[in-house]
Amino acid sequence: MLHLISGLYSEWTRKIPFNVLILGPEGAGKSCLIEAIKTTHGNRPGLPADKVKPTIGQNIFELPLTGNLLRLWDLGGSEDMQKLWQKYYKESHALLWVVDARWWDDVEVSSEEPSDSMPNPNPVPAANALRAQAAMSWDLLAAIMQDRHMSTVPFLIVLNKTDQLTGVDGQTRSRYKTEQISELEDTARLWWGSRLASVISRSATKASKTETPAPSAFESAAVTPSSERPGSSSSDDPVDTIWDVLGTSAVDLTGVRDMVHFLELLAEQRKA
């Protein structure tokens, strides 16, 4: 009897795993963001960004939240690893698509070399290189969205390294920084929205038609009726999901809590 009761109790209190794929081009900061989540939500701080080594294979972190277990899969972004991404698609419930925020930063881009002899892990690329990186990140995401399973998985485009945006000085200009990041999010939301409009339904189509940013998934996740929830398509659209854009920094932890909150809302929605 006791065994039965304890079995029922553990069933009631069981946290349902919510699998999150963290993908994106190599070096965008996927592994550093996992360390940042450890710092903001874990029992002990994660590694600082400058101590994180390039990922070989995969890196998994489980984050228990009230009633949910976020299982984060950080897969290497090298071309060899990209071939393996699809093995994870079927099991995933959400995608964090991590890119470098500077690829969408239209303010002045310096091409000067750093003056000291230490290698800079975040060299500032020239403007045309930024555009090429942005285009490449779209090609990669578009290829993922061709997958039958991934076309309905909600995703967040994470503009990481916002601490490196031109003119941002986190210590002294935090107000300016917040505004600059939010402008960048709007720019990127339109940039991605116009491309996603060809394959995605409601929110992105709305963004491209009205020339205003798509509604924040943080808001829409809370108000979307059950028939429109991710994975429960109510129309013939090939893709029907929630997506949004969020600026983060794995160094100063900007946006990291919002990123986890976004995933938590999706996990809650999936249970409902």
Ligand X SMILES: Nc1nc2c(ncn2[C@@H]2O[C@H](COP(=O)(O)OP(=O)(O)O)[C@@H](O)[C@H]2O)c(=O)[nH]1
Neighbours of 245 (CB within 10 A): 26
Q: Which does 116 bind (CB under 5 to 8 A by kind): Mg ion, ligand X, none?
A: none
Minimum Å distance from CB 65 to Mg ion? Answer: 23
Interacting positions 33-52 with ligand X (CB under 6 A) = 49-50, 52
Residue placing its CB nearer to Mg ion in the complex, 102 or 202: 102
Q: What is the contact mask toward ligand X in residues 184 to 223, using x (rule: CB under 6 A)? A: ----------------------------------------
Closest by CA position to 265, among listed 92, 117, 94, 14: 94
Q: What is the contact mask toward Mg ion in residues 20 to 59, using x (rule: CB under 5 A)? A: ----------xx-----------------------x----
Known binding residues for GTP are: 24-31, 77
**Which residue in 18, 20, 31, 181 binds ligand X (CB under 6 A)?**
31
H or E segment and range at residue 252? none
Considering the rule CB under 6 A, would residue 121 count as an interface residue with ligand X?
yes
The Cα–Cα gap between 86 and 116 comes to 41
Enumerate residues 6+ apart whose C-beta is below 8 A from 58: 73, 74, 75, 76
Closest by CA position to 204, among listed 269, 260, 154, 256: 154
**Which residue in 20, 21, 23, 28 binds ligand X (CB under 6 A)?**
28
Interacting positions 52-81 with Mg ion (CB under 5 A) = 55
Considering the rule CB under 6 A, would residue 229 count as an interface residue with ligand X?
no
Take residue 50 and report the two structure tokens written for it. 């400058």
Interacting positions 87-106 with ligand X (CB under 6 A) = 98
# residues contacting Mg ion (CB under 5 A): 3
Take residue 3 and report the two structure tokens written for it. 């065994």
Considering the rule CB under 6 A, would residue 267 count as an interface residue with ligand X?
no
Considering the rule CB under 6 A, would residue 170 count as an interface residue with ligand X?
no
Neighbours of 15 (CB within 10 A): 14
H or E segment and range at residue 59? strand 58-65
What burial class does residue 75 get, using C-beta atoms within 10 Å of its C-beta: 0-12 exposed, 13-18 middle, 19+ buried? buried
Compute the radius of gyration of the chain from its Cα atoms: 19
- Which residue ranges make up the site for Mg ion (CB under 5 A)? 30-31, 55
- Which residue ranges make up the site for ligand X (CB under 6 A)? 24, 26-32, 49-50, 52, 54-55, 77, 98, 121-122, 160-161, 163-164, 249-251
